[in-house]
């Protein structure tokens, strides 16, 4: 491709709203353009990179037995109603009616659609196992799109789905994906770690996420440096100390102006471990008539700990959570700042084990300026006991007892063991070898293609622009001509193309400074510069990689040298690729 004919153009300044360096460079280098909030066009340079990422994905999916399909973005709502997700997912799922009044949705994922396919294609154990995948546009009406392609509303995703007759088969396909994902990210040049995660709206019991560690990430990763335990904070556990004692009589005490744990402990002269605080949330549920309703959830946790909302949502069985309003708390007989489930009408009380296994804690009296001392779970109030503690930096590892650390990460992939969550609800059954009918055992596996590109831009950007690896860079070679006579560079461009080398050729009538600045922004790994001084010596300047020293190569050896450099780049990617097994 000649630069003079390239549809996109480079930008000298970062557009307003570019929150990260990678996003800034993707915009300035002409890879993407924003159309609306969380909606982007991919320009020729960006699309070439996306296509290379997709081909890496296809290669690995087919190596583990995947067959490519494509399912519609527009789904009839009936299949989403069968699984209940039509009602359980909030406004992120876009719903609409077609011209006949039929309920429709824009798919944010395709578990329902692929299960509908499977229940019509898989009728016998002889058809199992099976694995299909697609690379398809999806729509999620995210309320907080940010950081360019990191968090968008319309996106391209690789999603694959496995079908097995038993759990052993699912585990095998899960492990195959686990390893294949490391190969995909490794071939793209993106370092990732895998962490245990919450299955969330997907359902199922076992899930892992692939995280690119970055300070701009929204996920918090909890890690033990000593034993290697790693998990998303949504599911991370920590070792707790309990304080069992002989039960004492409950007593009301005057505690004016003590609405927070800090104020309460300072007034009473006690440690936060001697308190039980209440957190009030509203959970969304669906009744037998498939109508949504909200109910108050009271989370009780020791005062030295904090509630992890994902754990609370799972423990309470809610489809989603929001903070409760003061009037909603008061309606259940509790008072914000002095609240507890004691004497209230709260029906959903979730009690952290830190409270259930400790005694004689101070809790709210549901009366302005008063608390109760010596409160005890199962004597003064009841509820469901669960681990709802948020593990944080400095918490104790549940495996080895060392302090945990935390870091920020961006999720670029996920794998889920769905089990029979979808097959049972949608009637996807097969005839087993013994003649009985059994639900198909399913798995779901996703990679965000655009987010992967965004993370690569964050990982590889320098002070001057992008530095994408040769496996995904839009072109392998950037040929910069600084000579007036175009005959030689034109011929070199044609010769490299004939040899299968991907070349971006800057033949524009622009200054050397402009050309070099654009080359730095676009970030193609190998740069060849043809200048008047070099041509006098029948040579060209070659920079073999970002940060590498340039060298002069005679023109007769140039194409051979470039091929060797390309091969060495690819070999380096393979040699440095980290592949883990589950």
pLDDT digits (tens, 9 = 90+) for 244-296: 999 999 999 999 999 999 999 999 999 999 999 999 999 998 888 778 899 99
CA distances from 405 to 232, 306, 354, 412 (A): 12, 16, 21, 21
Q: Residue 498: helix, strand or coil by DSSP? A: helix
- Computed on alpha carbons and rounded to an integer, the radius of gyration of the chain in Å comes to 29
Residue found by looking up tokens 């209940």 in the block: 84
Q: Where are the domains of the chain?
A: 16-235+406-459, 251-386, 477-576
**In this structure, are residues 388 and 275 in contact, taking their beta carbons and an 8 Å threshold?**
no
May I ask the CATH architecture of the domain 16-235+406-459? 2-Layer Sandwich (3.30)
Low-confidence ranges of the chain (pLDDT < 70): 199-205
HSE of 576, CA atoms in CB hemisphere, 13 A: 14
Mean pLDDT of the chain: 94
What span, in angstroms and rounded, lies between the C-alpha atoms of 235 and 219?
12
Q: What is the pLDDT of residue 286?
A: 82
323 phi/psi in degrees, rounded to 5: -65, 140
Largest CA distance in the chain: 98
Whats the size of the chain, residue-wise? 582
Class of the 251-386 domain? Answer: alpha beta
Element (H, E) at 408: strand 405-419
Residue 490: Cβ-neighbour burial (10 angstroms; 0-12, 13-18, 19+):
middle
Q: CATH topology of 16-235+406-459 equal to that of 477-576?
A: no
Residue found by looking up tokens 């001697």 in the block: 274
**In this structure, are residues 161 and 183 in contact, taking their beta carbons and an 8 Å threshold?**
no
Question: Does the global pTM surpass 0.85?
Answer: yes
Buried b / exposed e along 174-196 (16+ C-beta atoms within 10 A)? bebbbebbbbbbbbbbbebbbbb
Q: Please enumerate, as own/partner, the contacts of 47-51 that have beta carbons within 8 Å and a separation of 24 or more.
A: 48/474, 48/475, 49/453, 49/468, 49/472, 49/473, 49/474, 50/156, 50/449, 50/450, 50/453
Residue 326: Cβ-neighbour burial (10 angstroms; 0-12, 13-18, 19+):
exposed
HSE of 174, CA atoms in CB hemisphere, 13 A: 24
Q: How many CB atoms lie within 10 A of CB 486?
A: 13
Q: Residue 99: helix, strand or coil by DSSP? A: coil
371 phi/psi in degrees, rounded to 5: -130, 165
Q: What is the pLDDT of residue 200?
A: 59
What span, in angstroms and rounded, lies between the C-alpha atoms of 415 and 195?
11
- For residue 89, what is the DSSP state? S
- For residue 146, what is the DSSP state? B
Residue 522 tokens, joined = 């676009």
**In this structure, are residues 273 and 358 in contact, taking their beta carbons and an 8 Å threshold?**
yes
What span, in angstroms and rounded, lies between the C-alpha atoms of 151 and 94?
17
Residue 254: Cβ-neighbour burial (10 angstroms; 0-12, 13-18, 19+):
exposed
What span, in angstroms and rounded, lies between the C-alpha atoms of 27 and 471?
21
Q: How many CB atoms lie within 10 A of CB 262?
A: 11
DSSP 169-224: HHHHHHHHHHHHHHHHHHHHT---EEEE---GGG--SEEEEEEEE-TT-SEEEEE-
What span, in angstroms and rounded, lies between the C-alpha atoms of 328 and 333?
9
Q: What is the pLDDT of residue 514?
A: 95
Q: What is the pLDDT of residue 582?
A: 82
Return the HEC string of 533-560: HHHHCCEEEEECCCCCCEEEEEHHHHHH
CATH number for the domain whose boundaries are 477-576 = 3.40.50.800
Residue 168 tokens, joined = 């052993």
**In this structure, are residues 464 and 521 in contact, taking their beta carbons and an 8 Å threshold?**
yes
What span, in angstroms and rounded, lies between the C-alpha atoms of 95 and 344?
38
């Amino acid at each position: 491709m000649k630069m003079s004919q390239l549809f996109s153009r480079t930008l000298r300044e970062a557009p307003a709203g570019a929150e990260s360096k990678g996003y800034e460079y993707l915009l300035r280098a002409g890879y993407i353009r924003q159309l609306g909030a969380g909606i982007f066009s991919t320009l020729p340079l960006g699309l070439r990179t996306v296509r290379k990422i997709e081909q890496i994905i296809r290669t690995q999916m087919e190596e583990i037995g995947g067959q490519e399909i494509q399912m519609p973005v527009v789904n009839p709502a009936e299949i989403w109603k069968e699984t209940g997700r039509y009602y359980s997912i909030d406004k992120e799922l876009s719903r609409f009616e077609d011209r006949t009044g039929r309920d429709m949705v824009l798919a944010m994922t395709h578990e329902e659609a692929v299960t509908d396919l499977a229940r019509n294609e898989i009728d016998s154990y002889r058809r199992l196992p099976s694995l299909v995948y697609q690379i398809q546009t999806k729509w999620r009406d995210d309320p907080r799109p940010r950081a360019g392609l990191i968090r968008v509303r319309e996106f391209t995703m690789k999603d694959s789905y496995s079908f097995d007759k038993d759990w052993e088969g699912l585990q095998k396909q899960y492990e195959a994906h686990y390893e294949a994902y490391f190969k995909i990210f490794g071939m793209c040049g993106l370092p990732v770690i895998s962490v245990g995660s919450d299955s969330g709206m997907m359902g199922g019991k076992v899930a892992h996420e692939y995280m690119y560690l970055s300070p701009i990430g929204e996920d918090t990763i909890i890690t033990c440096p000593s034993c290697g335990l790693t998990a998303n904070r949504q599911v991370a556990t920590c070792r707790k100390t309990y304080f069992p004692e002989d039960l004492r009589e409950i007593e009301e005490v005057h505690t004016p102006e003590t609405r927070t744990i800090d104020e309460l402990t300072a007034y009473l002269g006690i440690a936060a471990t001697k308190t039980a605080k209440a957190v009030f949330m509203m959970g969304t549920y669906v009744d037998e008539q498939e109508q949504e309703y909200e109910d108050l959830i009271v989370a009780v946790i020791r005062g030295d700990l904090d509630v992890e909302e994902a754990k609370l949502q799972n423990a309470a069985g809610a489809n989603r959570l929001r903070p409760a309003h003061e009037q909603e708390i008061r309606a259940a007989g509790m008072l914000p700042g002095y609240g507890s489930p004691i004497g209230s009408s709260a029906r959903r009380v979730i009690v952290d084990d830190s409270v259930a296994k400790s005694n004689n804690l101070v809790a709210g009296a549901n009366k302005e300026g008063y608390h109760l001392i010596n409160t005890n779970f199962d004597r003064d109030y009841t509820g469901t006991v669960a681990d709802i503690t948020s593990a944080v930096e400095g918490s104790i590892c549940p495996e080895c007892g060392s302090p945990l650390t935390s870091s920020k990460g961006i999720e670029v992939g996920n794998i889920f063991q769905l089990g029979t969550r979808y097959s049972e609800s949608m009637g996807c059954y097969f005839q087993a070898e013994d003649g009985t009918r059994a639900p198909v055992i399913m798995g779901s596996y996703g990679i965000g293609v655009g987010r992967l590109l965004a993370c690569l831009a964050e990982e590889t950007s320098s002070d001057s622009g992008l530095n994408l690896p040769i496996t995904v860079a839009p072109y392998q070679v950037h040929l910069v001509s600084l000579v007036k006579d175009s005959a030689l560079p034109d011929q070199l461009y044609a010769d490299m193309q004939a040899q299968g080398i991907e070349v971006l050729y800057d033949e524009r009538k622009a200054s050397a400074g402009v050309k070099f600045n654009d080359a730095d922004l676009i970030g193609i790994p190998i740069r060849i510069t043809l200048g008047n001084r070099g041509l006098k010596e029948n040579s060209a300047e070659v920079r073999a990689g970002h940060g590498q020293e340039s060298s002069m190569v005679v023109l007769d050896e140039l194409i051979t040298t470039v091929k060797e450099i390309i091969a060495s780049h690819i070999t380096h990617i393979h040699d440095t690729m980290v592949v883990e097994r589950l």
